[in-house]
Amino acid sequence: MKSWSNKEQPESGSPQSPAGADDGGAGRERTAGDPAADETSLREMGYAMVDLVVDYMNGLEGRRVYGPLTPLGLDDTFAEELPEEGAPFADLIQDFRTRVFPNTMAIGSKRYFGMMNPAPLPVAVVSEALTAAMNQNTASWRHSPAGTAIEKRVVRWLCDLFGLPETGFGTLTDGGSLANITGLKLAVNQALGRDLSQVDNLEGPGLEMARLTFYVSGQAHYSFDKAVDLLGLGRGQLRKIPHDEIYRIDLQALEESIKADLEAGLKPACVIGIAGTTNTGSIDKLDRMAEIAKRYGCWFHVDAAYGGAVILSEMYRSMLRGIDRADSIAVDPHKWFYMPFSCGGILVRNGDFLKRFRTARRPPKATSAAAGLSRIGAAFTKATK
Q: What is the DSSP string of 296-356?
A: TT-EEEEE-TTTGGGGG-TTTGGGGTTGGG-SEEEE-TTTTT-PPSS-EEEEESSHHHHHT
Report the number of distinct structural domains present in the chain: 2
SS3 234: coil
Residue 139 lies in a domain: yes
CA dihedral 248, 253, 254, 260 (to 10 degrees): -170
Q: Which of 330, 334, 335, 355 is nearest to 345 (CA)?
A: 330
146 and 185 share one domain: yes
Residue 380 lies in a domain: no
CATH code of the domain covering residue 238: 3.40.640.10
Contact 83, 2 (CB under 8 A): yes
151 and 87 share one domain: no
141 and 281 share one domain: yes
Residue 240 lies in a domain: yes
| Cα–Cα distance, 96 to 85 (Å, whole number) | 19
Query: Would you state the pLDDT for residue 194?
Result: 73
Per the DSSP assignment, residues forming a β-bridge with 346 are 171, 330
Residue 304 lies in a domain: yes
For the chain, residues with pLDDT lower than 50 are 1-30, 359-368, 370, 380
**Cα 315 off chain centre by:** 27
Q: Which domain holds residue 54?
A: 4-114
Distances, alpha carbon 170 to alpha carbons 26, 127, 128, 260, 376, in Å: 52, 23, 22, 34, 8
Per the DSSP assignment, residues forming a β-bridge with 5 are 88
140 and 98 share one domain: no
Query: Would you state the pLDDT for residue 376?
Result: 59
Residue 9 lies in a domain: yes
H helix or E strand, kind and range, residue 269: strand 267-274
104 and 146 share one domain: no
180 and 90 share one domain: no
188 and 260 share one domain: yes
| Cα–Cα distance, 317 to 162 (Å, whole number) | 10
Residue 383 lies in a domain: no
The pLDDT tens digits for 8-17 are 434 444 444 3
Neighbours of 98 (CB within 10 A): 11
266 and 367 share one domain: yes
What's the N-to-C CA distance of the chain in angstroms? Answer: 27
Query: Would you state the pLDDT for residue 151?
Result: 93
Helices and strands (H, E) in the chain, number of each type: 11, 9
262 and 196 share one domain: yes
Query: Would you state the pLDDT for residue 350?
Result: 94
Pairing relation of β-strands 4-5 and 299-303?
A: unpaired
CATH code of the domain covering residue 28: 1.20.1340.10
Q: Which of 306, 238, 245 is nearest to 272 (CA)?
A: 238
H helix or E strand, kind and range, residue 273: strand 267-274
141 and 246 share one domain: yes
31 and 168 share one domain: no
Per the DSSP assignment, residues forming a β-bridge with 271 are 215, 300
Query: Would you state the pLDDT for residue 200?
Result: 58
DSSP readout, 60-115?
A: TTT--SS-S--HHHHHHHT--PPPSS-EEHHHHHHHIIIIIGGGS--TTSTT---S
| Cα–Cα distance, 1 to 33 (Å, whole number) | 15
| Cα–Cα distance, 151 to 144 (Å, whole number) | 10
Which of 61, 81, 114 terminates a domain? The answer is 114
Pairing relation of β-strands 212-217 and 267-274?
A: parallel
